[in-house]
Amino acid sequence: MKFGILINEGPFTHQAADTAYQFAKAAVAAGHEIFRVFFYHDGVNVASDLAVPPQDDRNVTDNWVKLAEANNIDMVVCIAAAQRRGLLDANEAQRQGKRADNIAPVFRISGLGQLVEAGIECDRLVTFGD
């Protein structure tokens, strides 16, 4: 089965990003494909390369990066939600005249069309968070 995943909640304010990660990890282990993970609303904060959780806490961003790299998962961050929250990739930072970018490796910024495409291409689109 081919899954698309939508994450709407931030990594440290809600369990959604962790639960989605565990779901994706289990799905891959069971032989399913994760076509795309789309980060929307506060879920875009998962993509921050600047978050430094305490050593004894989970690192949600690193977990997603490792899973995506190991399984060639497309990780898309909503451009409008990201810009509102100060998350930029190198292209957007330059385009907006900002001094730096802060999106972690494997994540890319794009629009809602990527979410629509995931809904069309996948057998199931699973949503985590409100």
pLDDT of res. 7: 98
User: Which pLDDT tens digit goes with each residue over 17-74?
Assistant: 999 999 999 999 999 999 999 999 999 999 999 999 898 888 999 999 999 999 999 9
User: Going by C-beta distance under 8 Å and a sequence separation of 6 or more, which residues neighbour residue 30?
Assistant: none
pTM: 0.96
Report pLDDT digits (tens) over 85-107.
Answer: 999 999 999 999 999 999 999 99
Neighbours of 13 (CB within 10 A): 11
Question: Domains plus CATH for the chain?
Answer: 2-128 (3.40.1260.10)
User: Residues with Cβ < 8 Å from 105, sequence gap 6 or more?
Assistant: 49, 65, 69
| Beta strands, E only, 1-130 | 2-7, 33-39, 74-78, 107-110, 124-128
pLDDT score for 64: 98
Catalytic residues: 78
10 Å CB burial of residue 61 (0-12, 13-18, 19+) is buried
* Residue 82: per-residue pLDDT: 97
The structure tokens listed for 1 are 């089965």
